[in-house]
Chains A and B, each alone.
Chain A
């Protein structure tokens, strides 16, 4: 009978729903006003990870080069699509280790800018060298990126979490490049990738000009 009454009198049912929604909204608002617990305030460690994570994505010179690695890997196809993003963090970490140990590396800024120019050009012209040459080129420039990260580790922060942060951020940038590079299967996608390579090259030229000036 009640069901029948609800069907007969829809106004009453809708009133009930409105009241329920109001109550739920009030409860939600109360919960949203609760302050954060901060039960385990390991601020130093968390900051170390976030600082490391932000480092590669806070400079366009790093972003362009690392996305270009992913784009180029996607253009080259298997096995380069996974070999290049594996090689880059490993060699980059070696560069970072040199930076941490205080081993000087001349022309780091030039190397980073040149990496964007050459990797962007490789994407723009769809260069397909042998896998070893591609891996060597990517690895060579990774040393410069890693050295810059290693020398800029802020004092007093967790080295482990800083390292993990910037390795993970670098990997995410490669993954972004590979993700964008999947459009290579379509004709318009191939043109789009070549255009993106041109943008990376132009960015690299800008960074080189800024390093020289």
Chain B
């Protein structure tokens, strides 16, 4: 009687395991590949709630008003951010004013919570001012121009992606409770702005 052939699966598993153990360094920060500044800019935006939250609020607000508003914010905000950043790169360092940061939270969060019926022009103006102001502040703190310009591109890319995702998510919401949930998020943002205002007065 011919003996049964042993399965090769354990052998494959052993080879796979050995290969997994031989992995090379991940180079997560990509400094050695030259891609570092782009990801630095991208991560800077994602890790900075004072930048991230107002952009999210504006994207949600534009999404609540409809696809046309979302598209306008999608292009105006990153372009304004890029222009503001480029202007900031050649300027002297400027510190963000805590009252203005709190005001952005209050304004955009309050408009979102109230489901304000803004015109397309006002939404465009809000996106432009927000982009110019935050872009300028980002630009002034970026240091060397060559790498900073690349970092700025990564940052603007992150803004674009966030606006696209958040606005598109809200545009397709039809259920009343879902739209109310978005407005509740706005009230949380406005509440955070009020507290930032109190903090700014306290540390003044």
Instruction: Write 27 A-B pairs (CB below 8 A) sorted by A numbering.
Output: A5-B4, A12-B7, A13-B7, A19-B9, A20-B13, A23-B16, A27-B16, A27-B17, A30-B21, A82-B184, A89-B187, A89-B188, A90-B113, A90-B191, A90-B194, A93-B192, A93-B195, A96-B195, A97-B198, A97-B201, A98-B198, A100-B195, A100-B199, A160-B50, A160-B192, A164-B192, A167-B191
* Bound CA span A82–B101, Å: 27
Residues of B close to A42: CB separation below 8 A: 47
Interface contact A40-B47, CB-CB below 8 Å: yes
Residues of B close to A24: CB separation below 8 A: 13
Interface contact A164-B49, CB-CB below 8 Å: yes
Tell me, yes or no, whether A15 is within 8 Å of chain B by CB.
yes
Within 8 A of A (CB), among B1-47: 4, 6-7, 9-10, 13-14, 16-17, 20-21, 28-29, 43, 47
Residues of B close to A12: CB separation below 8 A: 4, 6-7
Within 8 A of B (CB), among A68-93: 82, 85-86, 89-90, 92-93
Interface contact A101-B198, CB-CB below 8 Å: yes
Of all A-B residue pairs in the complex, the 6 with the closest CB atoms, nearest first, are A97-B198, A100-B198, A23-B13, A16-B7, A93-B191, A163-B195
Kindly name the residue among A13, A16, A19, A163 whose own CB sees the greatest number of chain B CB atoms within 10 A.
Answer: A163
Residues of chain B touching chain A, judged by Cβ–Cβ distance below 8 Å, are 4, 6-7, 9-10, 13-14, 16-17, 20-21, 28-29, 43, 47, 49-50, 53, 101, 113, 177, 180, 183-184, 187-188, 190-199, 201-202
Taking a contact as CB atoms closer than 8 A, the residue among A16, A94, A161, A171 that contacts B184 in the complex is A171
Residues of chain A touching chain B, judged by Cβ–Cβ distance below 8 Å, are 5, 9, 12-13, 15-17, 19-20, 23-24, 26-27, 30, 37, 39-40, 42, 82, 85-86, 89-90, 92-94, 96-102, 150, 153, 159-161, 163-164, 167-168, 171
* Bound CA span A168–B28, Å: 31
